[in-house]
């Protein structure tokens, strides 16, 4: 049976690093191809003009794509891409923040007769801030802390949280027992 492993968490919690390492771990362990989807890759596809000049209408940039539309587009791409990989018999690991989209991922698993595992990485505020500062995205610190509080408090995340504060990627990979995160 195919697997969908969804890795969520705030910015700076190590989603992409963990996803890449865990995919390699699974391939080495199971000798089966794993398809990795980094949701931020879809988000990075939106390139807008920086100097909008005369493109303002009623004080708003006329060619700006609304965040809700970007998010919906990203999720449509993630779901479609994951579905194609599952249909090819691959396991799929997705790294992206889930706020309200877990039902879409559950539907994807159901439609493709796949097992769903849901891991929400978290870390202390100080650890998240340190990691974000190291990569130079200081403008993301407050957003990351907001997301951490939100994700830590969501009832559907109970039993799916994993705190990787002060842990190496190898420790995290070895400590994650996939069956403990089954949905």
Nearest partner of 150 among 20, 13, 4, judged by Cα: 13
Of the chain, the end-to-end C-alpha distance in Å amounts to 15
Q: What is the pLDDT of residue 63?
A: 58
pTM: 0.86
* DSSP codes joined into one string, 56-68: EETTEETTPPPHH
Return d(Cα 43, Cα 157) in angstroms, integer. Answer: 24
H/E run at residue 38: strand 34-38
Nearest partner of 130 among 121, 140, 120, judged by Cα: 140
Return d(Cα 14, Cα 92) in angstroms, integer. Answer: 18
Q: What is the pLDDT of residue 48?
A: 61
Residue 64: pLDDT band by 50, 70, 90 thresholds? low
Return d(Cα 153, Cα 155) in angstroms, integer. Answer: 6
* Pairing label, strands 60-61, 161-163: unpaired
Residue 62: pLDDT band by 50, 70, 90 thresholds? low
Tens digits of residue pLDDT in 108-157: 999 999 999 999 999 999 999 999 999 888 888 999 999 999 999 999 99
Task: Name which of 44-48, 84-88, 170-174 the model is least confident about.
Answer: 44-48
- In the chain, what percentage of residues exceed pLDDT 90? 69
Residue 66: pLDDT band by 50, 70, 90 thresholds? confident
Q: What is the pLDDT of residue 45?
A: 79
Tens digits of residue pLDDT in 70-116: 888 899 999 999 999 999 999 999 999 888 889 999 999 999 999 99
Strand partners, 163: 122
Q: What is the pLDDT of residue 53?
A: 52
Structural contact between residues 8 and 121, judged by C-beta atoms closer than 8 angstroms: yes
Q: What is the pLDDT of residue 131?
A: 92
């Amino acid at each position: 049976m195919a697997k969908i492993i969804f890795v969520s968490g705030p910015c700076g919690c190590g989603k992409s690093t963990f996803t890449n390492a865990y995919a390699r771990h699974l391939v080495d362990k199971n000798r089966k191809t794993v398809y990795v989807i980094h949701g931020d890759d879809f988000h990075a596809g939106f390139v807008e003009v920086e100097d909008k000049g005369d493109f303002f209408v009623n004080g708003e940039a006329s060619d700006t794509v609304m965040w809700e539309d970007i998010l919906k587009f990203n999720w449509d791409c993630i779901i479609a891409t994951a579905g194609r990989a599952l249909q090819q018999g691959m396991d799929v690991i997705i790294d992206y923040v889930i706020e309200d989209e877990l039902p879409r991922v559950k539907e994807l698993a159901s439609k493709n007769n796949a097992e769903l595992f849901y891991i929400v990485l978290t870390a202390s505020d100080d650890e998240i801030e340190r990691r974000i500062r190291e990569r130079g995205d200081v403008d993301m610190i407050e957003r990351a802390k907001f997301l951490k509080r939100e994700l830590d408090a969501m009832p559907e995340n109970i039993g799916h949280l994993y705190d990787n504060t002060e842990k190496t990627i190898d420790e995290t990979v070895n400590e994650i027992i996939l069956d403990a995160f089954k949905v």
